[in-house]
Chains A and B, each alone.
Chain A
Amino acid sequence: MDPAVVARLQHNYGLDRPLLEQYVRYFVELAHGELGESFYQRRPVAQAIADAVPNTLLLTITALAIDFALGILIGLYQASHARRRSDVALANVTLFFYSLPTFWLALVLQLCCAVWLGWFPTGGITDPAIHDSMPLLGRIADRLYHLVLPAVTLGLVGAGGTARFQRAALLDALGHDYVRTARAKGLAEPAVLVRHAWRDALLPVITLAGLALPFLLTGAVLIETVFSWPGLGKLAADAISARDYPLVLGTTLVATCAVVLGSLVADLLTAAADPRVRLRS
């Protein structure tokens, strides 16, 4: 390459300045919401991220809902049938899903449900050929149709962990004196389980929900790559292969903020749900 071109490029990106100055300038620009320019997308990083975040949010929130709805239900069932055959069988199933590599489950579901059975699309977020010509309801349905496989994959793996956690928390709660009191009062077992023990056992699960975010974002990087879902994770993975540093930095920053925000929300929710925990007055 012509040295003059190299010098001009270095000058344009500020790479000819001292390292410390570049570092300080990065923070000054960051404070102004300026994340720099993506090399390979040739547009501002902030814009690329802003396009990707809603897609990732849609995917992770759906997955989170599947994760916790399924996980809590299985955990409740297991705790109420503790040490019976169905509990042991379910424990094996949840352990299996908890131990699965997410991207592998994604590939297997893609092969079975999309390629062989043809029930769902193999990837993408909408049908590129007909999406724009659809009526509003059709477009929403199209999105949901594309959402099923990635969200179910991410949700299933998460549900394995949630169920294990919920079962342990419930068994813990069932050993307390107030449960014995409730039983002694003659309450029906479902009422004891759900109204008394479960209320106590839900607290650690709320904490888990905040911690689930890093897990979901990690999963999103892999799942979005498998299903070509144009979200934050795929953006990050693509940025790595393109050696697009500003974009890598930007996506990492946004993911980190999301995790911090997630644990803050979990803390606030715990404080709201648990009368023993009070925010400092």
Chain B
Amino acid sequence: MNATSVITLVAAIAWTVVFVSWCRRRLRGDAGRRFFRHPAAVRGLAVLVLFATIALVAPLVTPYAPYQQILTLQDHPPMWLHPLGTDFIGRDVWSRLVYGARVSLGVGTLGMLLAVTLGGLVGAAAGYFRGWADALLMRCVDVGLSIPRIFLILGAIALWGKLGLWALILLLGLTGWFATCRIVRADVMSVRERPYADAARALGVKPWRIIVRHVLPNSAASLIVSAALGIGNMMLLEAGLSFLGAGVQPPQPSWGNMIADGRDQLSNAPWTTLFPGLAIAFSVMALNATGDALRDALDPKSQRG
């Protein structure tokens, strides 16, 4: 560590504390109060804000570049200069962890964004238009849900070889929308029968406009919750794929391929495996806690202790 990275890290922690307490003070409405009543909401939100902030200011909190090798220091245990130790070719684990956060959090978020958009649109179309389009789309969703995703993605990777980052995000998004689609469809089917949807139809509003302006906003709650809970799954899947060598390709660091790198040094340099795993565990935990709290906030009917 050097002075800049320590100062930036402290600043990031301070910003997180300020931001979370600001949110807590400002969001005093019904939903906000329900959100913060969840026992893990504050912790979850704080971890997410902190990780995202650190990922954003990565060059400032890392004393080394993620690819920089210090060849005299291989598999060195944690010390002041390298707070999380160094890996098998002398790269600083802390620096790689921080840059890996960009990749892991980014892939999870973008993949989920794509999945939620697709799932929302297809689900809305199926639920609104009903009939043969609904039947066809939902059978496709059934097929998609019945193939274990990791096999599907591994199959695609076997066909096309190693994937770039964007292709990986695309693949994760394209295989991840089936569950969201089902939820949204169920929502839309009930919303389309409401009087205001009838009124819009009577006024001659076009179906897609009704879907986007009237129907989807009413199932926004389930979309947001399923997105928050889905990012964690996306991240776990990305980590698993990268661990198998099929996801994010080295030397670009992702938490999953850092664990894969550390695997062969497990017994003499456990820190190279331990810290990326904890990083995944804590961010997924924070995402799940925030997702649970969001559900409490947005869906008052499902009050679960």
B27 at the interface (CB under 8 A from A): no
A101 touches B239 (CB 8 A): yes
Find out whether the CB atom of B259 lies under 8 angstroms from the CB atom of A236: no
**Residue of B244, B245, B274 contacting most chain A CB atoms (<10 Å):** B244
Given A111-B270, A248-B155, check contact A241 B148 (CB 8 Å): no
Residues of chain A with a CB closer than 8 A to B24's CB: none
B229 to chain A, nearest CB (A): 11
Given contacts A240-B158, A256-B146, is CB(A107)–CB(B277) below 8 Å?
A: yes
In the bound complex, residues from chain A placing their C-beta under 8 Å from that of B277 are 100-101, 104-105, 107-108
B151 engages A239 (CB within 8 Å): no
Chain A positions within 8 Å of B157 at CB level: 240
B280:A104 contact, CB within 8 angstroms: yes
Question: B213 an interface residue at 8 Å Cβ cutoff?
Answer: no
Task: Count CB-based A-B contacts (< 8 Å).
Answer: 126
Set of chain A residues within 8 Å of B25, measured between Cβ atoms: none
Q: Are A260 and B305 in contact (CB under 8 A)?
A: no
Are B240 and A103 closer than 8 Å at their CB atoms? yes
Q: At the interface, yes or no: A126 with Cβ under 8 Å from chain B?
A: no
Contact A222–B149 (Cβ < 8 Å)? no
A237 interfacial contact with B, CB 8 Å: yes
Interface assignment of A252: CB less than 8 Å from any CB of chain B: yes
Residues 284 to 305 of chain B near chain A (Cβ within 8 Å): 284-285, 287-289, 304-305
Which residue of B is nearest A225, CB measured? B244
Contacting B at CB under 8 A, from A96-112, are 96, 98-105, 107-108, 110-111
Contacts known (A83-B305, A259-B148); A103 close to B154, Cβ less than 8 A = no
Give every chain A residue within 8 A of B148 (Cβ-Cβ): 214, 217-218, 255-256, 259
Q: With A237-B244, A255-B148 as known contacts, state yes or no: A101 contacts B280, CB within 8 Å.
A: yes
Q: Which residues of B lie under 8 Å from residue A115 when comparing CB positions?
A: 266-267
CA distance A107 to B236 in the complex (A): 15
B158 touching A239 by the CB < 8 A rule?
yes
Within B59-74, the residues touching A (CB, 8 Å) are none
C-alpha gap A96/B274 in the complex (Å): 15
Residues of A within 8 Å of B6, CB to CB, are none
Q: Is B281 an interface residue (CB 8 A)?
A: yes
Total interface residues on B, using CB and 8 Å? 43
Give A263's nearest chain B residue, CB to CB. Answer: B146
- B150 CB contact (under 8 Å) in A95, A101, A104, A221: A221
A111-B266 in contact (CB<8A): yes
In B139-180, which residues have CB < 8 Å from any A CB? 146-152, 154-155, 157-159
In the complex, the answer to whether B151 meets A100 with C-beta atoms within 8 Å is no
Q: Which residues of chain A (78-118) have a CB below 8 Å from chain B?
A: 82-83, 87-88, 91-92, 95-96, 98-105, 107-108, 110-111, 115-116
Q: Complex Cα distance A243/B236, Å? A: 24
| Residue in A closest to B44 when the chains form the complex, CB atoms | A95
Near A by CB (< 8 A), chain B positions 241-278 give: 243-246, 256, 259, 263, 266-267, 270, 273-274, 276-277
Contacting residue for B243 out of A103, A241, A244, CB 8 A: A103
A249 touches B236 (CB 8 A): no
**Whole-angstrom distance between the alpha carbons of A188 and B155 in the complex?**
55
B123 beta carbon closer than 8 Å to chain A: no
Collect the chain A residues with CB atoms within 8 Å of residue B270's CB. 111
Name A107's contact: one of B266, B280, B304 (CB within 8 Å).
Answer: B266
A243 and B147 contact, Cβ closer than 8 Å, known pairs A92-B40, A107-B263:
no
- Which size bracket describes the interface of A in this complex? 35 or more
- B interface footprint on A188-213 (CB within 8 Å = 1, 0 otherwise): 00000000000000000000000000
User: How far apart are B266's CB and chain A's nearest CB, in angstroms?
Assistant: 5
B239: nearest chain-A partner, CB-CB: A101
From B146, B245, B284, give the contact of A260 (CB < 8 A): B146
Docked Cα-Cα span, A211 to B151, in Å, equals 16
Most buried by B among A92, A104, A237, A255: A104
Contact of A222 with B266 in the complex, beta carbons under 8 Å: no
- B39 adjacent to chain A (CB < 8 Å): yes
Decide yes or no whether A251 CB sits under 8 A from chain B. yes
Are A251 and B151 in contact, with the CB atoms below 8 A?
A: yes
| In the assembled complex, A168 has its CB within 8 A of some CB on chain B | yes
Chain B residue with Cβ nearest A217: B148
Contact assessment for B158 and A248 in the assembled complex, using a CB-CB cutoff below 8 Å: yes
Q: Is A245's beta carbon under 8 Å from chain B? A: yes
Contact A99 B155 (CB under 8 A): no
Write 16 A-B pairs (CB below 8 A) sorted by A numbering.
A91-B39, A99-B281, A100-B277, A100-B284, A101-B259, A102-B240, A115-B266, A214-B149, A217-B150, A221-B154, A221-B240, A221-B244, A245-B158, A245-B159, A252-B147, A256-B148
Apart from A111-B266, A218-B237, 4 more pairs, CB < 8 Å: A104-B276, A107-B273, A222-B240, A256-B151
Give the top 10 A-B pairs by smallest Cβ distance, nearest first. Answer: A104-B277, A99-B284, A99-B285, A252-B151, A214-B148, A218-B150, A256-B147, A248-B158, A217-B148, A115-B267
